[in-house]
Amino acid sequence: MLLSMDWTLLQPAIVLLVVTLIARFNPIPSQYHPSQLLGLCFTTIANKVNNPERSNKQQTIAGALSIVFMLTLLLAGFAILQFIVIEEFAFELLVLIAFLQWERLHLTEVDLADLEKNTFTEQLKFKTLRDLTSLSLLGLHKASIETLCLRNAYQWFAVIFWYLTGGIWAAIAYRLIQLMAQYWNCKQSNFERFGQAAAQLLNLLSTPSHYLLALTLSLFNKPVMNLKLANQQAEQWHHPSSGFLLASFAHSLSIQLGGPRKYQGQIIRYAQLGNKQPANKIDVQRAQQRLNMAALLWLTAISIVMAGMSLW
C-alpha cells in the first residue's frame, strides 16, 4: 500500500510539518526575521511615492500602483530564486520558513503589577500600533490576546490557507500584500489613504482563513451557541471577518475583547466582543495554548486529508 501512495500529494503536508518543527525548536528572532527586510523595502518605496501634499485620490492611486509595482518586482525575484534552487520541495521549504511567523509572549512568573505591565508593554510595542502607555494592566491583557490572535491569523493561518488552496505562489503573493498592509497601516495618519488599497485587499484575502480559524477556536467551548453570539457581534465590528474571529476567540475563552483603542493620540471606539469577564494574565496563557491547539488541529487535519488523497 505504501508503494501505491502518490507522495507528490503529501508534499504540502510534509513541508508544513518540517517548517513547523523548525519554527518550534529553532525560531527566527523577530529582529532577524526576513519579513523585516521586506518591511524595509516597503517603507523605502512608501517614503518615495507617498506625498502628503497630494490629494486623497492621488495618494490612494499611488498606494494601489505601489502594490502592483512591488508585487511584480518581488515575485520576479522569487521566480529567480526558484530557478536557482531548482528543487520544488526545497524552494517551498525556504519560502515558508521565511514567511511563516508565529507570535508568542513571555509572561512573568512573579505577580508584580509594575513588572507585568513593563513586560507586556515592551513586547507589544513591536507588535501593535496602539498607544500602550495609557493602558491599565487589564487593558494590556486584552491587547495581548487580541494581538496574538490577529497576528497569528494573518502571519500563519492565512499563509497556510493560501499555500494549500493556491500553492506556494498564492502564499507568497498573500504574505507580500499582508506585509504591505502592515507597513502602510491606515491607522497611521501618513498612510490613511496610501495604505487603503493594501488594507482592503488584505481584508478580502484573509476572510476565508479568518472564518476557518474562528470555527476552529469555537470548538473549545460551546461551539453552536458561541458561534451564534459571535456572528451577531461581528456585525458591529468594522471588519466582519476579523470581528467574527475575535468574537469567537473571546467566547472560546469566556472573556471580553474589543472596546476603545488609542492610536496616535486619537481614541477609536470599537464594539465589545465576548462577555463581560475581564481578561487576566492566565487568560493570555490560555490564549496562547488555544492558538497552539488550533495550529495542531489544522496540521493534523491537513496531514489526514493529504494522506487520504494520496491513497485514493
Boundaries of every domain in the chain:
2-311
Instruction: Give the DSSP letter of residue 4.
Output: G
Between CA 102 and CA 245 the distance in angstroms is 17
- Predicted TM-score (pTM) of the model is 0.92
Partnered with residue 261 across adjacent β-strands are 268
Cell of 126: 513591536
pLDDT top residue among 74 and 11: 74
Most confident range, picked from 124-128, 204-208, 227-231, 301-305: 204-208
Ramachandran sector of residue 103 (left: φ over 0; alpha: ψ -120 to 50; beta: rest):
beta
Among the residue ranges 114-118, 149-153, 185-189, 243-247, the one predicted with the least confidence is 114-118
Residue 38 has pLDDT above 60, yes or no: yes
Residue 245 has pLDDT above 90, yes or no: yes
Between CA 245 and CA 149 the distance in angstroms is 8
Cα–Cα separations (whole angstroms), residue 6 to 14, 16, 98, 149: 13, 17, 27, 35
- 285 pLDDT band, cuts 50/70/90, is very high
pLDDT top residue among 79 and 267: 79
Give Cβ neighbours of residue 202 (< 8 Å, ≥ 6 apart). Answer: 154, 177, 178, 181
Residue 13 has pLDDT above 60, yes or no: yes
Supply the pLDDT for residue 305: 84
Supply the pLDDT for residue 8: 66
Residue 2 has pLDDT above 60, yes or no: no
- 112 pLDDT band, cuts 50/70/90, is low
- 294 pLDDT band, cuts 50/70/90, is very high
Query: What are phi and psi for residue 268, nearest 5 degrees?
Result: -115, 125
- For the chain, what percent of residues have pLDDT higher than 90? 57
The overall average pLDDT reported for the chain is: 89
